[in-house]
Structure 1
Amino acid sequence: MAKISRILRPYGMYPYQGEKITKKVIKVFTGSRYIAVKQSREKHLPQRFGFVYHEAKEKNLTSIAPLYLTEKGSPYIEGRQHFYYVVPWFKEKEGSSLTSSIHPFFGELAHVHRKTSVTKPIEIQQLNEWAQNQKEKIRRNFYQFENWIDLFEAQHFMSPTALLICHSYRMVRQMSQLLEYWYDEWRAHMEEEKEMKYCLCHGNLSPSHFVLTSNGVMFLNWEQAFYGHPSRDLSMFFSTICQEHDTPLSLIKEGLPVYFKDAGYTKSDMALLAIHLLNVKDFLLDVQQYVKAPNYLTEVEWIQVFQRYQFYFEHVLDIQEFIKNDLMITDDEDLT
Structure 2
Amino acid sequence: MTTEKDTLNYGPVLFHYDLFPEKLEQHGKVKKVITKRGTFALKEAEMTEDERSWFTHVIQRLSEIGFHQVVPLYPTKFGDYTVQLGSRTYYLMPWFASDERNERAKDEVLIDHLGKIHALTLKEQDFSNEVVEHSYQYLMNRWENRQYEMERFTEEAEQKTYMSPFELTYLSHFHQIMRMTEEAKRRLKEWYETCQREKRYRSVLCHGKVSRNHLIFNPTGEGHLLNFEKAVLDTPIRDLAVYFRRAAHQKEWTPEEGNSLLDLYEKHVPLLNEERGLLISYLSYPEPVFNAVDLYCMKRNDYSQIEMVHRLESRIRAMKKIRDFCDAIMMAPPPAPMEPTDSMPTKIHINDDGDHI
Post-superposition offset of 1:139 = 6.0
SS of match in other structure, 2:332: helix
Structure 1 residue 74 displacement after superposition: 0.7
Residue of structure 2 aligned with 1:59, choices 65, 71, 82: 65
Distance in 1 of aligned mates of 2:185 and 2:84: 46
Residue 80 (str. 1) matches residue 81 (str. 2): no
Q: Quick one: which amino acid aligns to residue 319 of structure 1?
A: F
- 1:168 and 2:156 equivalent? no
More deviation, 197-206/165-174: 165-174
Preserved contact between residue 102 and residue 251 of structure 1 (Cα < 8 Å): no
Tell me the residue number matched to 1:219: 225
Within 5 A, what are the aligned runs for 1:243-282?
243-281=249-287
- Percent identity reads 20
Letter in 2 for 1:53: I
How far did residue 254 of structure 1 move?
A: 0.8
- Pick the aligned partner of 1:236 from 215, 238, 242: 242
Which residue of structure 1 aligns with residue 209 of structure 2?
204
- d(CA) in 2 for partners of 1:200 and 1:129? 21
Alignment of 1:1-336 (within 5 A): 1=2, 2=7, 3-22=9-28, 24-44=29-49, 45-93=51-99, 95-124=100-129, 127=132, 131=136, 142=147, 145-213=150-218, 214-281=220-287, 283-284=289-290, 286-287=292-293, 290-291=296-297, 294-295=300-301, 297-328=303-334
The superposition leaves residues 191-230 of structure 1 with CA deviations (integer Å, 9 ceiling, x where unpaired) of 4542211121111111211124544321111111111112
Deviations 1:49-81 (A, max 9, x none): 233124223212212211011011111111012
So what's the TM-score if we normalise by structure 2? Answer: 0.80
Partner residue, 2:351: none
Contact 2:73/2:93 (<8 A) preserved: yes
Cα distance in structure 1, aligned partners of 2:268 and 2:159: 52
Counterparts of 2:144 and 2:75, CA distance in 1: 51
* Cα 1:182–1:212 shift into 2, 3 Å: farther
Give the conservation status (yes or no) of the 8 Å contact 1:15–1:29.
yes
C-alpha distance in structure 1 between counterparts of 2:135 and 2:13, whole Å:
47
- State the shift of 1:323 in Å: 0.7
Q: Which SS does the other structure have where 2:204 is aligned?
A: strand
The C-alpha deviation readout for 1:141-199, integer Å capped at 9, x for no partner, is 54653443343233222211112212332431231232133224423542454221112
1:136 & 1:205 partners in 2: Cα distance? 26
> Any unmatched runs of 5+ in structure 2?
337-357
How far apart in 2 are the matches of 1:10 and 1:133? 43
**How much has 1:33 moved relative to structure 2?**
3.1
Query: Quick check: 2:256–2:325 contact (8 Å CA) kept in 1?
Result: no
Per-residue deviation at 1:114? Answer: 1.3
CA distance in 2, matches of 1:138, 1:66: 38
Distance 1:20 1:132, change over 3 A: closer
The aligned amino acid for 1:102 is D
Tell me, in whole angstroms, the C-alpha distance in 2 between the residues paired with 1:241 and 1:69: 34
**AA in 2 matched with 1:13:** L
From the superposition, tell whether residues 56 and 328 of structure 1 become closer, same or farther in structure 2 (CA, over 3 Å): closer
Task: Note the C-alpha offset of 1:320.
Answer: 1.1
Deviates more, 1:100-109 or 1:153-162: 153-162
Amino acid at match of 1:96: R
- Preserved contact between residue 103 and residue 251 of structure 1 (Cα < 8 Å): no
> Does the CA-based 8 Å contact 2:150-2:290 persist in structure 1?
yes
Q: Residues 125, 112 of structure 1: CA spacing in aligned structure 2 closer, same or farther, 3 A cutoff? A: closer
The Cα shift of 1:32 comes to 4.5
Counterpart contact for 1:113–1:201, Cα < 8 Å:
yes
Question: d(CA) in 2 for partners of 1:143 and 1:191?
Answer: 28
Q: In the superposition, relative to structure 1, how do residues 263 and 217 fare at CA in structure 2: closer, same or farther (>3 Å)?
A: farther
Deviations 1:92-137 (CA, angstroms, capped at 9, x unpaired): 44x4122111222211100001111212132458746865786687
Q: CA deviation at 1:262?
A: 0.8
**Cα distance in structure 1, aligned partners of 2:130 and 2:19:** 57
Inter-partner Cα distance in structure 2 for 1:314 and 1:272: 18
Give the Cα separation in 1 of the matches to 2:130 and 2:62. Answer: 36
